[in-house]
């Protein structure tokens, strides 16, 4: 069966395009770009990116050679390293946005997140392909160990990203609670917590508070809440996508383990059948030897009897009176 593989995730600085993915329409790439390119770790203007998708055909049912396999592993490692740099950049922007929100930071964050989402899908697709390749070469323990190593590193980076997004969301909602208390000093702790955990796209709570506080600071707080609503929505969307990515990776692991276990069972069964066949063959050889010995014994007995009869007849006719 032919297997379409993603283009290898090449080393940094080499040309590489991603496969179509669920992230291809995200953010600054625009809704019409269904074949999103990979963006290198160095920022590249979105308008200059090609939309070509580079694919290759695996050679029938033959597994990848050792060199090809490890080239793909190294490419995936480098992309995961770039993911770590992106997470650090996101953490820095989050801190800046908590201190002084601005549209420039939001645009920068959106660009990094879009780039990272595309890269995540590339890495996931590469892992999926390499797992399938390993299934076609189930006795190659080196390939299996490399795949498990790559998945552990990738999952660790995804967990770091989840932690960063969750931490930013928590700190931002705490800041919203503090700002709400500024414009509504009489609010109870329960009310402040309700506001902090509410849908920040619903301005009703803040609008109601503004009826009693017409200061410029109160209006500024409402503006900040409205401006950062999209950021919170983006985080929630990213968290959902990461959860899906974890599920897909785990499903691939389960499926792979199932096939490998089946292959191992078949191998053990073949070995058992071979041993049983050898045992039966040994019994057949022994039985054939016994049969040959019995045949020669019977022939010898018949020959002896014939000799005795011939001797008796000879003596009879010789000694018979004439």
In the structure encoding, which two tokens stand for residue 129, read together?
């392909």
Predicted TM-score (pTM) of the model is 0.56
Specify the DSSP class assigned to residue 21: -
Strand 55-57, strand 4-6: pairing = antiparallel
Q: Which domains does the chain have, with CATH numbers?
A: 4-268 (1.20.58.70)
In the structure encoding, which two tokens stand for residue 4, read together?
């379409």
**What are the distances in angstroms from CA 149 to CA 7, 74, 88, 157?**
21, 12, 22, 13
251 vs 206: CA distance, rounded Å: 44
pLDDT in tens, 2-33: 445 566 655 444 333 333 333 333 333 333 33
101 in Cβ contact with 228 (< 8 Å): yes
pLDDT in tens, 234-289: 777 887 888 888 887 777 555 555 566 666 677 777 777 778 878 888 888 888 88
């Amino acid at each position: 069966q032919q297997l379409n593989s993603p283009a290898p995730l090449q080393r940094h600085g080499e040309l590489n395009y991603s496969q179509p993915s669920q992230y291809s329409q995200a953010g600054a790439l625009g809704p019409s770009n269904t074949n999103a390119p990979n963006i290198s770790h160095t920022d590249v203007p979105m308008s200059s990116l090609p939309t070509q998708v580079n694919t290759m055909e695996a050679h029938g049912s033959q597994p990848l050679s050792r060199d090809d396999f490890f080239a793909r592993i190294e490419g995936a490692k480098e992309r995961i390293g770039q993911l770590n740099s992106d997470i650090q950049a996101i953490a820095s922007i989050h801190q800046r946005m908590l201190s002084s929100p601005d549209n420039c930071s939001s645009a920068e964050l959106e660009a990094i997140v879009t780039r990272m989402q595309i890269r995540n899908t590339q890495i996931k697709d590469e892992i999926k392909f390499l797992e399938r390749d390993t299934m076609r070469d189930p006795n190659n323990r080196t390939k299996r160990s490399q795949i498990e190593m790559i998945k552990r590193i990738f999952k660790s980076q995804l967990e770091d990203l989840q932690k960063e997004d969750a931490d930013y969301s928590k700190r931002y909602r705490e800041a919203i609670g503090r700002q709400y208390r500024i414009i509504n000093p009489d609010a109870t702790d329960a009310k402040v917590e309700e506001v902090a955990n509410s849908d920040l796209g619903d301005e009703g709570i803040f609008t109601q508070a503004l009826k009693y506080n017409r200061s410029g600071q109160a209006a500024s707080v409402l503006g900040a809440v409205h401006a950062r609503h999209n950021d919170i929505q983006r985080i929630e969307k990213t968290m959902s996508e990461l959860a899906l990515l974890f599920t897909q990776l785990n499903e691939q692991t389960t499926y792979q383990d199932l096939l490998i276990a089946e292959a191992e069972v078949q191998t053990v069964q073949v070995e058992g059948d071979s041993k049983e066949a050898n045992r039966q063959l040994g019994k057949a050889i022994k039985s054939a030897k016994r049969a040959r010995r019995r045949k020669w014994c019977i022939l010898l007995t018949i020959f002896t009897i014939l000799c005795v009869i011939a001797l008796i007849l000879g003596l009879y006719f010789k000694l018979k009176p004439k």
